[in-house]
Structure 1
Amino acid sequence: MNFQIPDGLWIAAGTGQIFTAMIYPYIRHQVFDWYNDVKQLKPLNQEIAKTYGRYIQGLNFSFGIITIFLREDLQQNTRLAFAVTALIAAYWVGKVATQIAYYPMYEIPQKIHFKIGSYFMNALFLLFASVFTGLLVLKLNTLLS
């Protein structure tokens, strides 16, 4: 079976990942009041929290660029393509699992655009997890055939 993920789905996933990187500071500031919470930490812990925030933003952006511009390479049956696909799939599956397991315990502001935004972002996270997990399954299927 030689199934390929359609280019449109790749572009949507890549663009969505870049979008999550770009919107991330707005969500931290406007939705979660993150910066005021971080100010309550010791200075070193403030910097650690900010650094991890930048890592997340950088990974989302980088994964988007890889998805858009290297999608043909990702679909190849090479060890590197398998490893990168597994990394991105694990990242987004982990994000979805965290979202389901922990985030419902917290209150998102009840403004309508925040509620709609949370549904949209969750749909994007599911899309990313699905695309890369699907590609990983296709690679495993090819590998085991």
Structure 2
Amino acid sequence: MNPIIPNWLIIASGCGQIFTALIYPYIRHQVFDWYNDVKQLKPLNQEIAKTYGRYIQGLNFSFGIIAITLPNDLKNQSNLAIAVTGLIAAYWVGKVATQIAYYPMYDIPKRRLFKIGSYFMNMLFLLFAVVNTLLFIHNSIR
């Protein structure tokens, strides 16, 4: 098999996805003041918002673990490889599309760290989307 994506790039993408999961609480708290906004919701809606935040964090972490531990399986052109890379690609392409379409309308605090961080995170999201989309295409062409 002639792999379309080298393992090191898949693993680097996985490490980045784990990084996004680990940094997510900091971004919510320090950049977006998310917890204070959530406190304004009704109690049930607070729990729903927190649950979805945990889902995002868990998915990012899980996708990273899969990429780090199973890079060959993610490109072996099996039905499962198609399904998993398709899911991960759709997730990150959706994230990038949302980032482009909606986030520019909002003010992010002007601290230099946050400005640099936003560019770095956007590059990571784009990397995840590209790597997994290429894996999905590779797996789908058999």
TM over 0.5: yes
Q: Where in structure 1 do 4 or more consecutive aligned residues deviate above 4 Å?
A: none
Query: Does 2:129 match 1:129?
Result: yes
Q: Where does residue 26 of structure 2 map in the other structure?
A: 26
- What percentage of residue pairs aligned between the two structures are identical? 75
SS in 2 for 1:138: helix
Check conservation: 2:7, 2:72, Cα contact below 8 A.
no
Counterpart in the other structure of 1:5: 5
Alignment root-mean-square deviation, CA? 1.0
Which range moved further: 102-111 or 71-80?
71-80
TM-score by length of 1: 0.95
Gaps of 5+ in 1: none
Matches within 5 A, 1:92-107: 92-107=92-107
- CA positional deviation for 1:3: 3.4
Q: CA deviation at 1:12?
A: 1.1
Query: In the aligned structure 2, how far is the partner of 1:32 from the partner of 1:25?
Result: 10
Q: Does the 8 Å CA contact 2:93/2:129 hold for their aligned counterparts? A: yes
Q: CA deviation at 1:45?
A: 0.1
Secondary structure of the residue aligned to 2:107 is: coil
**CA deviation profile, 1:107-144 (whole Å, cap 9, x unmatched):** 010000000000000000000000000111112222xx
1:82 Cα deviation (Å)? 0.6
CA displacement, residues 59-87 of structure 1 (integer Å, 9 cap, x when unaligned)? 00000000010111111111111100100
| 8 Å Cα contact 2:92-2:129 kept in structure 1 | yes
Cα distance, 1:6 vs. partner? 1.0
Structure 1 distance, partners of 2:79, 2:139, is: 10
Matches within 5 A, 1:1-145: 2-142=2-142
Q: What is the TM-score when the length of structure 2 is the normalising length?
A: 0.97
